[in-house]
Amino acid sequence: MKKNEPCINTTAKLWISHLLVYYFTYITISNLVKNYYLPHWDFFNKESLTIFMLSPIIGITGFLDRFPGFFIFQIILMLVLYYRFFERKIYKSYLVSLLISHLLLYLFLWSINGHKHNFSTSGIESAHIDVLFFVIPSLAVALSVNWFLFGRHENQKKN
């Protein structure tokens, strides 16, 4: 393996961690919003916990991003950025790929008017909440966790 190639093990750990943390956070925020509009507040009901435990599978299949296999685009973009622009900076290429891909996804969803989640309320109307309300905190948590696990060691010299 060349010196500037990312370790496959590190890349896999980075993306597994990202998918788990991002989708768990996304579903947690979604459950909190959904339960806020219900007449009875119960975050720990069976349905919420089941959805929480299945959130990585739900996310990977594209129900949350509304684009099946969206994470594959992010991984490919990260590897292109790593090899073209950010050599030996896997976390920086990961960060930039997430920002670019989520911006493009939001612009795509906005162009087809799919950028809002609908939540039924106890009243007649349903609440329409922008996807950014879920994406930004989820990305912030996932980026923070992955920076703590992978990014802070990126600039240190290896012996």
Residue 16 resides in a domain = yes
Interval 4-36: pLDDT, tens? 555 677 788 888 888 888 888 888 888 777 766
Q: Is residue 96 part of a domain?
A: yes
Indicate whether 3 belongs to any domain: no
Q: Which of 40-44, 109-113, 142-146 has the lowest mean pLDDT?
A: 40-44
In a domain, 52, yes or no: yes
Distance CA 118, CA 130 (A): 9
Tell me the CA distances in angstroms from 115 to 18, 72, 102, one per residue in order. Answer: 22, 21, 12
Q: What single-letter amino acid sits at 149?
A: L
- Structurally, the chain folds into a number of domains equal to 1
Report yes or no on 2 lying in a domain: no
Evaluate whether residue 1 is within a structural domain. no
Choose among 20, 9, 8: nearest CA to 142.
20
Range of the domain at 96: 8-157
* pLDDT of the residue at 97: 87
